[in-house]
Structure 1
Amino acid sequence: MSYEFILYGIINTFCGVLIAPLFVSLVKKVKAWTQGRQGPSVFQTYYTLAKLLKKEVLYSPDASGITRFTPWVCIAAILVASLFVPLVYVTVPSGGIGNIILFLYLLVLGRFFMALAGLDAGSTFGGMGSSREMSIAAVIEPTTIIVFAALVFVFKSLNIIDMVGVAASTGTPVTPTLILLGISLFIILIVETARIPVDNPETHLELTMIHEGMILEQSGRNLAMMELSAAVKQLVLMALVINLIVPWGIATVLTPAAIGTALAFFVVKGVILALVIGLFESSMAKMRFFRLPSLFAMAFFFSTLIIIIEVFA
């Protein structure tokens, strides 16, 4: 493993943790503006995480060790997964980092332990949230596999870092195939981050929440880690859309000037995508649970069409 790859890991992780809360707050801000409210500060998520880190951690008397180590598993899994998706700098992959199959397994690992923790404390609402999460996962995961298979066919690689490198070096001209791929990735982003119309990440209505139901029993620094892992997951999926569909500005050389410029480009593109997410959520209502497969089917159809085009065209 070269020193350049080690620096890549440090830069990628640091930028991911630093920027992720900003985009969470920005989406909330956009949704507030569309509703005629001022909304929270764009730094509110940072304040919330800092406050939670100072609070005491409480556990249910019925909770086992699963509740205690799930936040660590979730944050570790998503931080490792963040290494698979270059944010500001792309390098030569090493040690299996960037493999698209391993990336999907890391995402599933976090989801599995989160659902397990929701059941562990014996809370009725936690069990309801876990049940709903697994029901959605059973439907969306085959679609996710097909979307990422379409990525493999388009970029002719199983490694995400190599995909971003190809996109950055060739400029990836906008084609109908790439537009369909962008729509499919955007749907995966909405579903995987539990946003409207799949779920409302800001709700505390017990009968409708999914993601929030699974973390009701978490508190203090454990809740901070769960919230941070959700923010980093959103950032990683946003980076997939940004750096594969519009890769302009990503650094291919390891110099302070190139990294600084790439970071500025990424933040600007991320802000634009966060605005799109906020407007998309504000234009839709939460779907009924049994209507969700129709949303997933769109991504499945587009990705299948891309694979057919790439194989036979």
Structure 2
Amino acid sequence: MSVVGAMLQVVFVAVGAPLLVGVMRQVRARLEGRAGAGVRQPWRDLRKLMRKQAITPRGTGWVFRAAPLLLAGTTLVVAAVVPLVTTDSPLDGVADLFVVSALLALGSVALALGALDTGTAFGGMGASREMTVLALVEPTILVSTFALSIEVGSTSLGAIVTATVENPLSVISPVSILAAIALAIVTIAETGRIPLDNPSTHLELTMIHEAMVLEYAGPDLALIEWASAMRLSVLLGLLAGLFFPLGIAGADAGLLALAVASIALVLKVGVLGVVLAVGEVFMAKLRLFRVPELLAGSFLLALLAVAASFFLA
């Protein structure tokens, strides 16, 4: 059943991620008084991009072409190992918070190197800003999740979620609250959402992620957009699994439990996506030089969560 659970996670993330982006765009459109393009519009955009010709800028090498593949590949691996539907994974050996953080960082670094490979001003600007954000995001992800692992005695994400399922009241402790706030902030930063980044802007002074993908077109751009949507779904699912693991199937779960867990995953990620979209409507993007301050604050919250886990143990 562990293999079935991992496959379900990959399928739900791969198929549902563009739909999640479509739901978030539709919510924003409705709140802003617009009709919106529909929930399935991201899938239509991906299909249109896949039919176009891939264009490689002159002077770029294999790094430019490999970046979208590496970004999508690492995201799919993370989707298979993190406890979204079940805590039992055939890849328990790599279902570790250090490995998951490294895989997420590897995808971001690959995309930044692809942007640098173009030799353009926008690519270099976006890559430098992405690395600035990454230098603060990845340590926060590690430290905030490590705070939850201290009481469990294991850095396995499956073990952490299992411990939360067995003791639901642990999520209202100071450790969990501090870690949840820190992880929520870096999730927004990692996925490039408002107030840290705006995924729909092309203004030179504000864009980070968009500046790195300006030279991509056709199937390469489709792969990047698909991978970005999957990263959003995985991180929201991980956030829900760590602090609200209601419905996640255990190690000895059957098909019925996996079906219930799949429905619970869709509902939890959908609710978090809607909340994030609503927040973006009523919030403005931060100035670029204020972003590191917010991320440094989230890292401080993660450190406080670690300290509290030792004092309250």
Residue aligning to 2:274: 275
Counterpart Cα distance in 1 of 2:178 and 2:308: 11
Residue aligning to 1:226: 224
Are 1:296 and 2:287 an aligned pair?
Answer: no
- Partner of residue 233 from structure 2, selected from 232, 235, 240: 235
Asked whether the equivalents of residues 22 and 45 of structure 1 are also in contact (C-alpha less than 8 Å), the reply is yes
Asked whether the equivalents of residues 164 and 171 of structure 2 are also in contact (C-alpha less than 8 Å), the reply is no
Residue aligning to 1:48: 45
Counterpart Cα distance in 2 of 1:165 and 1:106: 22
Are 1:284 and 2:286 an aligned pair?
Answer: no
Residue aligning to 2:195: 197
Asked whether the equivalents of residues 67 and 120 of structure 1 are also in contact (C-alpha less than 8 Å), the reply is yes
Q: CA deviation at 1:254?
A: 4.1
Asked whether the equivalents of residues 172 and 247 of structure 1 are also in contact (C-alpha less than 8 Å), the reply is no
Asked whether the equivalents of residues 83 and 97 of structure 1 are also in contact (C-alpha less than 8 Å), the reply is no
Counterpart Cα distance in 2 of 1:255 and 1:148: 28
Name the SS for the 2:81 alignment partner: coil
- Partner of residue 168 from structure 2, selected from 171, 183, 202: 171
Structure 1 segment 74-223 matched on structure 2, within 5 A: 74-91=71-88, 94=91, 96-177=93-174, 178-223=176-221
Residue aligning to 2:260: 261
Q: Please give the root-mean-square deviation of Cα atoms over the aligned residues, in Å.
A: 1.8
Q: CA deviation at 1:45?
A: 1.1
> Structure 2 unaligned runs (5+)?
none
Name the SS for the 1:49 alignment partner: helix
- Structure 1 pair 267–95 and aligned structure 2 pair: CA distance change class (3 A): closer
Are 1:307 and 2:299 an aligned pair?
Answer: no
Counterpart Cα distance in 2 of 1:95 and 1:304: 27
- Structure 1 pair 8–268 and aligned structure 2 pair: CA distance change class (3 A): closer
Are 1:60 and 2:57 an aligned pair?
Answer: yes
Q: CA deviation at 1:110?
A: 0.5
Q: Percent identity?
A: 36
Name the SS for the 1:83 alignment partner: helix
Counterpart Cα distance in 1 of 2:67 and 2:91: 28
Residue aligning to 2:13: 16
Asked whether the equivalents of residues 242 and 270 of structure 1 are also in contact (C-alpha less than 8 Å), the reply is yes
Name the SS for the 2:135 alignment partner: helix
Asked whether the equivalents of residues 101 and 138 of structure 2 are also in contact (C-alpha less than 8 Å), the reply is no
Q: CA deviation at 1:108?
A: 0.9
Asked whether the equivalents of residues 25 and 45 of structure 1 are also in contact (C-alpha less than 8 Å), the reply is yes
Deviations 1:186-233 (A, max 9, x none): 111101001111110111223321101111111111111111111111
Counterpart Cα distance in 2 of 1:73 and 1:172: 39
Using structure 1 for the length normalisation, give the TM-score: 0.93
Asked whether the equivalents of residues 206 and 288 of structure 2 are also in contact (C-alpha less than 8 Å), the reply is no
- Partner of residue 71 from structure 1, selected from 68, 73, 81: 68
- Structure 1 pair 219–227 and aligned structure 2 pair: CA distance change class (3 A): same
Name the SS for the 2:7 alignment partner: helix
For these two proteins, the number of residue pairs brought into alignment is: 310
Counterpart Cα distance in 2 of 1:40 and 1:179: 37
- Partner of residue 34 from structure 1, selected from 22, 31, 44: 31
Q: CA deviation at 1:244?
A: 1.3
Deviations 1:221-250 (A, max 9, x none): 111111111111111110111111111111
Counterpart Cα distance in 2 of 1:5 and 1:174: 26
Asked whether the equivalents of residues 172 and 245 of structure 1 are also in contact (C-alpha less than 8 Å), the reply is no
Name the SS for the 1:122 alignment partner: coil
- Structure 1 pair 222–154 and aligned structure 2 pair: CA distance change class (3 A): farther
